[in-house]
Structure 1
Amino acid sequence: MGQARRKEKDKEKSQEPAPEPSPGPDAPPATDAWVKPQGLSRRGWGVLIGLIVLIQFPLIHHALIRGQADVTTSVPYTQDFSDPAVVKRDFFSTGGFWREVDGELLAPGVKNNPLWLQAPLPDDVAVEFDVRSEAPEGDVRLELFGNGMDPASGYVLVHGGWNNSLSVIARKDMGAPSMDVLKRRASRNGTDNADLVASGVYDKDTAVRVEARGTPVQAGRVYHWRVERRGTKLKWSIDGEPMLELDDPFPLKGRGNDRLGLSGNESQIFFDNLRVDTPDRLPATAPAAAAPTPPPGPYADDFNRDSLGDAWNVTNPSAVKLEDGALTVELIHNRPVWLKQPIPTNATIEFDAWSDSPEGDIKVEAWGDGRSFYAGDLRLQYTATGYVFILGGWRNTQSVIARQHEHTPDRAVRDGQVVVPGKHHHFKITRRGGQIAWELDGQPFLTLQDSAPLEGPRNQYFGFSGWKTRVHFDNLKIEPLAP
């Protein structure tokens, strides 16, 4: 082969890279240039993905078949929680250390992680169980017709929620607007507020709740729940007494809305004696027989003895005592001493009351339910079940008659200092229907006219109450008014 021509050799020489200059004596040492690392092979990626799927399989499984929770048992279902293995066998939860303790099911502050029964519910269902909270926060919860995994995926029933101040049946969202709010919206739409569906404010995706105040959970007390649904009506009762009812025109049911879950939040809650069946096969259990309640009538008490006895329901024992022939309360924090005997709807209530403190704050409740008390955050408002009479409240600056809510503008109010330290003030309260009159030391003091008077079995009890101040009560006398 012949030699390359000179022109071609010169061209090849010009394309060679120029030699790099030699580093000087002060130049930094040479480093290797960055080279992109080699990625995972196909086999490596396959192994990594397989490990992720294996670790996350339970969550991926439930995410893919949400609304189709596992089935390990069936309805009718009865459980007394005497077998520790039942929690794992018949139930499912995404969190919370749910466990059997001494024949009961313990929810130790499960933070809204329900324990779901792994059995589909019939469309018409009845649920009964016993429950108690060992914490003053209350907040006992039941999830009904949920999806078996997510809280608030169906109906949520809450007893003593929001610092033990409120009980609700909520559809899909515990913070949903109330039924009254929806009715007002319907009215603004120019539709009869009874027909929420026609007004367009209620459809199959609507979140709503019905609520009741003044029904706190009493720590340590065992409550018997019954919840049943027939058709569109969901009814809830506690200890045989109606609690709340929701009539849902689009009842949640079917796959994805067919599970029951027991739940709670911060409280330590014990569940027992769970029964689930149809309403026809599970008739309501009669409440345990209690001592017969005497009819409303007169009552008198001079407190001249060593102990209160069975005539009174003391909801804060550490704050109540008898001394020097009088009933004394201090730091009672709106937990009344209820007279167990009902009082007449139309009656006079007289007693003496005094405090040695210049802050005053003498308080009683009349025509309440005889058992409710405040058990929530002491910084929040208390809602009574009856009428509240406060002499010298708010550091002896204001006196009121309030219908359940002592901070709302519909109170009867009298401003000014009125409690004289050490003075025995004489109270006389007179009620005729919705007309309530209060006399103090023989003189008219305040009146309240209630257009929807509180009456009936839930509003026929009297209680001594208070907040912080040390207050003494004596010489109680209750008399029915002549027809």
Structure 2
Amino acid sequence: MGQARRKEKQDQSPTEPAPRQEPPASTGWVKPNGLTRKGWAVLVGLILVVQFPLIHYALVRGQADVTAKMPYTQDFSDPGVVQRDFFSTGGYWRVTQGELLSPGVKNNPLWLQAPLPDDVAVEFDVRSELPAGDIRLELFGNGVDPSSGYILVQGGWNNSTSVIARRDMNAQSLDVLKRRAARSGVDDLDLKASGLFKKDTKVRVEARGQQVQAGRTYHWRVERRGTLLRWFVDGELLLELDDPYPLKGPGQDRLGLSGFESQIFFDNLRVDAPDRLPFTPAARAPTPPPGPFEDDFNRDTLGDAWNVTNPSATKLVDGALVVELMHNRPVWLKQPIPTHAVIEFDAWTDNPEGDIKVEVWGDGRSFYAGDLRLQYTATGYVIIFGGWRNTQSAIARQNEHTNDRAVRDGAAVVAGKRHHIKITRNGGTIAWELDGQPYLTLKDPVPLEGPRNQYFGFSGWKNRVHFDNLKIVPLAP
């Protein structure tokens, strides 16, 4: 019985296993089927429908339409004026309660459908209801494309900067071109003759530190005579641009009101020739002539001699000026200083990270008002002693981070030590002496000078710093 069972076992042997299935060989990525001809036709049709106004404007109508005439005056009491006298490719521009509203139009200008004269004056009232500021005007554009002419921006870049820009808000500074021309030996800085400024050059001039206040109404006047474009806000000259190739003529003759994300209200628009639109600049308080100055800070309050742009970071302690958490908002001396002068003062900090800073030959009022993570561009020369955690000292022309600075590496500030700093300017040469020894020198081929560059300011970033015994005297002839 045992063998029979074995035989049964043999007869009942398992069936052969199924052959192993190999996975199919990889054929790689296969491009999916594209749109059919019908699908492409539908897509093109949708694009044409959505973009028809712009395509019609660019290809069919040619030059911008003319539905208004010069001189032009508008108080926006009629809601129908937007459609009748203006054109835009986007943004819900509309009249509300007798004002023109720009509700976050994302840089889609509202173009006046009337050609501007070559010499023109534009005036209007404007306010931003949001703290972002960013009020814009396009002048001598083509009537459809943003940044096709001059762009004027009040309170742009996080409400920190105002500019007049030629065809690009983020273009290089005109000052950069002037310095290039000077280095190449161009007489009298003739940018046109140097070839650095061409018909298609994109460039800008700027002013920093003057924020747009939410809810405040400003009065703008912009005028061009010949090559000079000048911009006044509340009667005071803010910026000007002298363009050797002034934008004008067909295709460069339109005005556009604009903005970005702010809610902006425009009113009382007037456009005419400058001589037919009378204007009286605001009278400015007289300033004392540049001259010597001394201050030992031996009192309780700073007083009227100084313009404090960050009061919470400034105080007098034990006969010295103390700044902390300044964030590049200087204490400006209100009295102008001589163009050629010697500036001396004592400075010290108990922080081993150093970072002692002053601004010389700046504009006397600008300060940093933007995102603290971004860099600051000054209006004058910046003297930085032991910056970047006491690893480097520098003399910088406006920008602390460019390659044209005069730089000295290594720790310099001694914590707790009273350092004596002496700054001498003769023409375009800025010489810095530290504790009686030559320290750094910067030679500027295009020196900063004139009414906008004749002020001194104590500054700083984060660390607590003491200043004392300031003395400014004209440089002996």
When normalised by structure 1's length, the TM-score is 0.71
- The equivalent of 2:321 in structure 1 is 327
Q: For residues 103 and 316 of structure 1, do their structure 2 counterparts lie closer, same or farther at Cα, with a shift above 3 Å needed?
A: farther
Matched, 1:277 2:272: yes
CA offsets, 1:34-72, max 9 Å, x none? Answer: xxxxxxxxxxxxxxx9xx99999977875654643462x
Name the SS for the 2:274 alignment partner.
coil
How has the CA–CA distance of structure 1 residues 98 and 328 changed in structure 2, closer, same or farther, with 3 Å as cutoff?
farther
- Aligned to 1:385, which of 379, 388, 407? 379
Is residue 66–residue 115 contact of structure 2 (8 Å, CA) maintained in 1? no
Structure 2 residue 201 is the aligned partner of structure 1 residue 208? yes
- Which position in structure 1 is the counterpart of 2:343? 349
| CA distance in structure 2 between the partners assigned to 1:107 and 1:223 by the alignment | 15
Paired position in structure 2 for 1:157: 152
Aligned to 2:109: 114
Query: Does 2:119 align with 1:124?
Result: yes
Correspondence list, 1:222-241, <5 A: 225-230=220-225, 233=227, 235-238=229-232, 239-240=236-237
Give the letter aligned to residue 121 of structure 1: L
Q: How does 1:293-372 map to 2 (within 5 A)?
A: 293-372=287-366
Which secondary structure state, in structure 1, belongs to the residue aligned with residue 389 of structure 2?
Answer: helix
Query: Secondary structure of the equivalent of 1:395?
Result: helix
Sequence identity (%): 71
Q: Alpha-carbon deviation of 1:354?
A: 2.2
Aligned: 1:219 with 2:215: no
Letter in 2 for 1:343: I
1:243 matched to 2:237? The reply is no
Deviation at 1:272, TM superposition (A): 5.4
Q: 1:295 to 1:147 in 2, by over 3 A?
A: same
Read off the aligned partner of 1:410 and give its amino acid letter: D
Give 1:401's match in structure 2, choosing from 395, 398, 406. 395
Aligned ranges 1:381-460 → 2 under 5 Å:
381-460=375-454
Paired residues of 1:94 and 1:149 also in contact (CA < 8 A) = yes
Q: Which residue identity does 1:310 align to in structure 2?
A: D
In structure 1, C-alpha distance between the alignment counterparts of 2:219 and 2:447, rounded to whole Å: 29
AA matched with 1:125: V
Alignment root-mean-square deviation, CA: 4.1
Change (3 A) 1:83 1:159: same
**Which structure's CA Rg is the greater one?**
1
Q: CA deviation at 1:475?
A: 2.6
Equivalent position SS for 1:280: helix
> Is 1:167 matched with 2:153?
no
- Give the 3 Å change call, closer, same or farther, for CA 194–258 of structure 1 in structure 2: closer
Distance in 1 (CA, whole Å) between partners of 2:443 and 2:54 is 59
CA offset at residue 144 of structure 1? 1.8
Query: Residue deviations 1:312-334, cap 9 Å, x none?
Result: 22333443334444333333222
Q: CA deviation at 1:103?
A: 7.9
TM-score by length of 2: 0.72
Residue correspondence of structure 1 range 175-190 to structure 2 within 5 A? none
What is the aligned counterpart of 1:253 among 228, 242, 249?
249
What corresponds to 1:77 in structure 2? 72
Distance 2:166 2:204 in 1: 8
CA 1:355–1:53 in 2, change beyond 3 Å: closer, same or farther?
closer
Give, in whole Å, the separation in 2 of the partners of 1:429 and 1:248.
40
Counterpart residue type for residue 208 of structure 1: T
How far, CA to CA, are the matches of 2:296 and 2:97 in structure 1? 45
CA distance in structure 1 between the aligned counterparts of 2:129 and 2:331, rounded to whole angstroms? 21
Give yes or no for contact 2:118–2:249 (8 Å, CA) kept in 1.
yes
Q: Indicate conservation of the 8 Å contact 2:207/2:238, yes or no.
A: no
Q: Does structure 2 conserve the Cα–Cα contact (< 8 Å) formed by 1:227 and 1:234?
A: no
1:241 shift after superposition? 5.8
Give the CA deviation at 1:440.
Answer: 2.3
In the other structure, the counterpart of 1:12 is: none
Q: CA deviation at 1:134?
A: 7.3
SS of residue paired to 2:388: helix
| 8 Å Cα contact 1:95-1:110 kept in structure 2 | yes
The answer on whether the counterparts of 2:422 and 2:433 sit within 8 Å (CA) in structure 1 is yes
Closer, same or farther in 2 for the Cα pair 1:433/1:335, shift >3 Å? same
Partner SS for 1:349: strand
Q: 1:346 to 1:103 in 2, by over 3 A?
A: farther
For 2:70, what is the secondary structure of its paired residue? coil
> Aligned partners of 1:381, 1:327: CA distance in 2, in Å?
25
Q: Secondary structure at the match of 1:444?
A: strand
* Aligned with residue 263 of structure 1, among 250, 258, 266: 258
Query: Mind listing any 5+ residue stretches in structure 1 that lack a counterpart?
Result: 1-48
State the shift of 1:126 in Å: 1.9
Task: Give the secondary-structure state (helix, strand or coil) at the position aligned to 1:116.
Answer: strand
* Cα distance between partner residues in 2 of 1:211 and 1:156: 9
Q: Cα distance 1:100–1:424, how it changes in 2: closer, same or farther (>3 A)?
A: farther
Confirm or deny: 8 A CA contact 2:165 2:171 kept in the other structure: no
Q: Please give the alpha-carbon distance, in whole angstroms, between the structure 1 residues aligned to 2:442 and 2:455.
A: 18
Letter in 1 for 2:469: N
Which letter maps to 2:205? Answer: A
1:186-227, Cα deviation, whole Å (9 max, x unpaired) = x9xxxx98469xx9x96xxx6432222554543338776543
Amino acid at match of 1:391: F
1:414-468 Cα deviation digits (max 9, x unpaired): 2221222233322222223233322223333223333433222221100111222
